[in-house]
Amino acid sequence: MIPLFKVAMNPEAEKAVANVLNSGFIGQGSVNEAFETKLKERYKNNNLVTVNSGTSALQLALRLVKDKHPEKKYIITTPLTCTATNWAILAAGFEIIWADIDENDLNINIVDVYMNKLRTDVAAVMVVHWGGYPVDLNKLKRLQEHFKFEIIEDCAHAFGSFYDNTMIGNSGNYCAFSFQAIKLLYRDWETDRKSTRLNSSHEFVSRMPSSA
């Protein structure tokens, strides 16, 4: 196996994981509940639930959409994403309609969705906030009012992103996050947003930990 990179690990992580393993609750337990409570506080949103992965969260959202629109067959989605986004669509029994991507931000191209892809049997449009850059949700919501599809947001890259002064994840759509090992997680958004702002890819490389 070729090691592409090594994820930096907080030295306290080992003990914290060992505590959970020795607690007897390795599924749902008090640590999980504390985490969920903190997330609810941060988002000021009680309609929030933790599951075992971002993929499961996407599948859950898609199953809810399937239950709501059993007669609809298709999900419009973007090709530029992790395979998990689009496998989840197939796993839920939908078929995929591919949209183009926008050359400016690499997110789904909403003009293409509108002009070429929308039809009455589309159950949902899946968007991915690629690299944390928010999709233009207002534009999509205007289309939603006419075409009556659901919006599913794959927020795997967007923990800590904002759109229109609202935290990504709080739009009222189905939103799925991932806490997989290489996702960027912000502890204190206001402070971290300032301290992690980089001016160039060179600065990014120079600030990487030497063990990485």
Ligand X SMILES: Cc1ncc(COP(=O)(O)O)c(C=O)c1O
Interacting residues with ligand X (CB under 6 A): 53-55, 81-82, 84-85, 128, 154, 156-157, 178, 180
**Closer Cβ to ligand X, 106 or 147, answer by number:** 106
Q: Please say which residue, 74 or 86, places its beta carbon nearer to ligand X.
A: 86
The CB-of-165 to ligand X minimum distance in angstroms stands at 23
Number of H helices, E strands in the chain: 8, 7
Closest contact distance (angstroms) between CB of 201 and ligand X is 20
Which of 113, 179, 112, 165 lies closest to 134 in space, CA to CA?
Answer: 165
Considering the complex, state which of residue 70 and residue 131 has its C-beta at the smaller distance from ligand X: 131
Q: Which residues contact 53 (CB under 8 A, 6 or more apart)?
A: 178, 180
26 exposure class (CB count in 10 Å sphere: 0-12, 13-18, 19+): exposed
Could you tell me the smallest distance in angstroms from the CB atom of residue 184 to ligand X?
11
CB of 106 to ligand X, least distance (A): 12
Work out whether strand 95-98 and strand 122-128 pair parallel, antiparallel, or are unpaired.
unpaired
Tell the smallest beta-carbon distance from residue 62 to ligand X (Å): 12
Query: Which is nearer to ligand X, 56 or 147 (by Cβ)?
Result: 56
Q: Which residue is nearest to ligand X (CB)?
A: 54
* Helices within the chain (DSSP H only): 13-23, 30-43, 54-68, 83-91, 110-112, 137-147, 189-195, 201-206
CA distance 82 to 101: 14
Nearer to ligand X, 28 or 116 (CB): 28
Question: Smallest distance from the beta carbon of 107 to ligand X, in angstroms?
Answer: 11
Residue type, 92: A
Q: Based on CB atoms, which residue is closest to ligand X, 150 or 154?
A: 154
Q: Are 72 and 123 in contact (CB under 8 A)?
A: yes
